[in-house]
Structure formats: structure tokens, C-alpha cells
Amino acid sequence: MAITDDQPDGEKPRPKPPYRLGLSGKLLLLTIPLVMIAGMLIYVPAIANFRMNRLNDRLAAANTAALVLDAAPSGMVPDSLARQILTSIGARAVAIKMGQQRRLLASADLPEAIDHDIDMRTMTAWSAIVDSFETMLESGNQSIRVVGPAPRGGQFIEVVIDELPLRKAMYRFSGNLLLVSLGIAILTAGLVYLALNYLFVRPMRRLTASLVGFHENPESSARIIVPSQRGDEIGVAERELSDMQRDLVSMLHQKSRLAALGLAVSKINHDLRNLLASSQLLSDQLASVPDPRVQRFAPKLMRSLERAIAFCQSTLSYGRAQEAAPDRRMILVEPVVAEVRESAGLASDASIGWVGAIERGLVIDADPDQLFRVLLNLVRNAAQALESRPKSEAGALQIRITGRREGSVAIIEVSDTGPGVAPDARERLFEAFQTSGRPGGSGLGLAIAAELVRAHGGDIHLVEGTIGATFRVSIPDRPVELQSVRNERAMA
């Protein structure tokens, strides 16, 4: 006999995804190009600045040479000395403009034409970057005329130099900068990788390992992750995952208990039902005994046996999908309450007081057997609560059941003068195996009562602010179709 929802015979193992780079590998592959991009952003202004410094050095050397050449009388500097001066500053010619006069101070092997003019006085950052890459991309040995401020009040000084030595110097600087940048990039990438791996990758691996381990054995409390004290999003994820795993383990344990309960009941259900059927046959024979006392108790015994057989046949329904649909009809509440009192053994128990305050003639639209089960569970819970009270308070032990009608809703309340319901048990009071904290409780009575009341479209809840515990059951009448009422009246 099935007692739980249908489950597949066997779960097929999930295919493993193809191996790919892990989070650490992806992080490393992402860090390296980012660091290289940062290095390129540093290289671009660095090479432009190197070229400008190189040209400024040539202008500074030309200024010094101009002071020497200009101090000598005109034509008194030998050509050999002039060549030596130009060679020392790496130039082919040096000229200066003073006022309206433009004077060539020294020259050697002047080119036929000047390929590029560079005015350092109006150089901008962008033009310096563009000119630097143009210089590195060119080939051959072009001639460059560099113009800069002149010494001793001159308008400007000019120096003609070869581009090839400048390009070679820029290549050497680029190579050195590349090696330094590569070393810095590797060091930075390693540090960034280690930091991110420690701060993010390792916690994510821990979360992943916990999820995989919990999936393998979700009923093991040892697989629940222990959250860290982090206050960021990863810490929140760890705490939420831990709470979710604990709730799931608790739910699976409850499901296992339900399955074990259903299995145990299914083993005894057949034999117990046969025994009850035999007892029912004996009670039928007792009904024919003419003894007045037997005649008075025999109907109640037969009714109890019939209800026990019905309970036995429907015991497994709680472990299956749901209870049977209620067979509702308008019934008097007082006889059901009286039968509940007798079944609970309170009619002959003088230690617990019984107060019945049911409105005279109160009717309710409900299934009589299911209403009996609801009230019996509530009354038994109240009796168990009173059993925990000391015997010295016997005069204060009392169960009170009231009933009234508010419009189309019938309301029944069952209260006791016991210790009440513990605050931590109120949140899951109507869930299976969640006892109210009272000794002797099985944790199923309130769950079954709540399911039966909801099947009637009603509501059951714990009333706050009362002595002991008070449970209120509200069951509304079924809506009546106006046309059917008219037809019944017409037939009458």
C-alpha cells in the first residue's frame, strides 16, 4: 500500500559536463590581459615622453654648443672643431636666430632636404604620442629639424639631427620598458590572483563542495555548511545556504518518520481490521441481549467499532495525498460534543472539569465523522495538557467547549486551563510531528485536525491572550444555489 507520493524507481546519474577551466583559471586568464592593457596604457605616454626628452637633450646640447660657437670671432672656429662639436651633440647643423638675423653656427654633411620639422615650443601631448609612433614605424635615416628656445635672448635655435639614432634609442627603451612591464605585470597578476583566489574563489569552492556533498546525502546533518563570519554577499550566501540545508534536513527527517509510520501502520492494518470486524460481529450479538444495561451501551459500542474500522481503513490517508472529501450535511453540534466527551473518557473523570456552552439547537454544515475527529483531537490535547498540572490544582483543571454561529459561519472553541503553548512551538503548530510542547503528544493530532478543517473550507487557529490554550474552529456553510432551493420549494 502506497503511503507517500509516487517516486521514480531509480534516478539516472546526471551526465558530467565537459571539463572546462575552473574559476581560478578563468580568473588568471582575465587578470593577465587586464594587467597587459594597463602596461600598454603606461607605455604610450612613456615612449612619447622619452622622445621629447631625447629631443630636449639635443636642444640643450645645441644651446651649449651655440654659446661656444657664438663666443668665438666669426670664422675663427676651425672646421675640425666644429665637426667635433656637432658629433658630440649628435647633430649635423646648429643655427640660431637673433632678431632679424638667422645665423648658421656650424654644419657638417647637411642633407639635401629636411624630412620633418619639430617645434618643441608648440608640442602638445597628443602630437607627441602620434609623432613618436610615426618615428618608430618609419624606415631609413630621415633628417629632422628640431626648433626650440634660444639662449641669451635669441628667438629660437635650430638643430638638424638624424632620425635613425633616435629610432634605435626608442626601440631600446621600448625593449627595456617591456621587460620591466612584463615583470611588474607577472608580479601584479600573481598578487591579484592570490588575493582574489583567497577572498572569492576559495569561498565559492567551499560553497560548491557543500552543495555537491549535500546532494549526495541530503539527510546527513554533517553535510551542512558551517557559515563563516563574513559580512559581505558571500557570508550572506553561506548563512542562507546553511539555513536552507537545515530546513531541508528537517523536512526529510519528517518525511522519513511519516514513511516509517505508514509502513508500521500498513503492517498492522490488515490484522487490526479483521479483529475489529470480529468485535463488530460480537457487538451485533450483544444487541440481541435483553438486558437493559446492555441495550443502553450496545449502540454506543457498535458506533465506536464502526468508527474504529473507518479510522483503520483511512489511517494511511495522511501519508498519502490527502484525506477523503468530507460528506457534509447539516448536523447538530451538541450530540457530537457529547460523544467526544465520552470517547475521551472525561464523562467519568471527576478530576477534570467539563464545561459545555453550546448554543441550543446549533447546527453546522460538516461531515459528522470528520468533525468528531477534529474535536476529539483537540479535547485529547487539552486533557494531556491538564495531566501535566500538579494534583493539588485539581479544582482548577477544566476543559471548556463553546459553540455559536456568526452569520453563515459556525464557530467552536476548545479551551483548557493548562500551561498553554510554548512560544517557540506556535509557528509550526499545525505541521506534522511538531508538538505543542506538551508531554505525551505525538505531533499528528493538530495536523490532522487542521487538514480536516481546511477540507471544509474553514480555519483553525490558536487564540491569543487566553488562560491555557484555546483553539478556535470556524466552518462556513456551503453556498446554496438559489434555483435548487426554488425547485425544492416548488416540489414541496
Task: Reply yes or no on whether the pLDDT at 367 is more than 90.
Answer: yes
**What local confidence, expressed as pLDDT, does residue 265 receive?**
65
**What local confidence, expressed as pLDDT, does residue 437 receive?**
52
Label each residue of 279-322 as H, E or C. HHHHHHHHCCCCCHHHHHHHHHHHHHHHHHHHHHHHHHHCCCCC
Q: Record the cell numbers describing residue 153, joined without a space.
A: 635672448
Task: Reply yes or no on whether the pLDDT at 201 is more than 80.
Answer: no
Q: Which residue has the higher pLDDT, 32 or 478?
A: 478
pLDDT band at 364 (very low <50, low <70, confident <90, very high): very high
pLDDT band at 285 (very low <50, low <70, confident <90, very high): low
**What local confidence, expressed as pLDDT, does residue 333 receive?**
93
CB 460 within 8 A of CB 373: no
| Residue labelled with grid coordinates 477544566 | 398
Q: Which residue has the higher pLDDT, 196 or 305?
A: 196
Burial annotation 205-231 (CB, 10 A radius, 16+ → b, else e): eeeeebeeebeeeeeeeebbbebeeee
pLDDT band at 459 (very low <50, low <70, confident <90, very high): very high
Percent of the chain with pLDDT over 90: 13
Q: Between 292-314 and 233-286, two packed helices, what is the crossing angle to 10 degrees?
A: 150
Percent of the chain with pLDDT over 70: 75
Least confident of 130-134, 416-420, 436-440, 460-464: 436-440
pLDDT band at 329 (very low <50, low <70, confident <90, very high): very high
Task: Reply yes or no on whether the pLDDT at 142 is more than 80.
Answer: yes
pTM of the prediction?
0.45
Task: Reply yes or no on whether the pLDDT at 420 is more than 70.
Answer: yes
Q: Which residue has the higher pLDDT, 236 or 267?
A: 236
pLDDT band at 472 (very low <50, low <70, confident <90, very high): very high
Positive/negative CA dihedral, 32, 33, 34, 36 = positive
Task: Reply yes or no on whether the pLDDT at 9 is more than 50.
Answer: no
Mean pLDDT to the nearest integer, 32-45 = 80
Mean pLDDT to the nearest integer, 419-431 = 80
Report the C-alpha dihedral over residues 6, 7, 9, 13, rounded to 10 degrees: 160
**What local confidence, expressed as pLDDT, does residue 286 receive?**
65
Q: What is the mean pLDDT of the chain?
A: 78
The span from the CA of 185 to the CA of 190, in Å, is 8
**What local confidence, expressed as pLDDT, does residue 21 receive?**
63
Q: Which residue has the higher pLDDT, 209 or 319?
A: 209
Per-residue CA distances from 170 to 131, 224, 480 (Å) = 12, 61, 98
Task: Reply yes or no on whether the pLDDT at 453 is more than 90.
Answer: yes
Highest mean pLDDT among 184-198, 265-279, 346-360, 384-398: 346-360
Mean pLDDT to the nearest integer, 250-264 = 74
Mean pLDDT to the nearest integer, 375-391 = 82
Q: Which residue has the higher pLDDT, 442 or 187?
A: 187
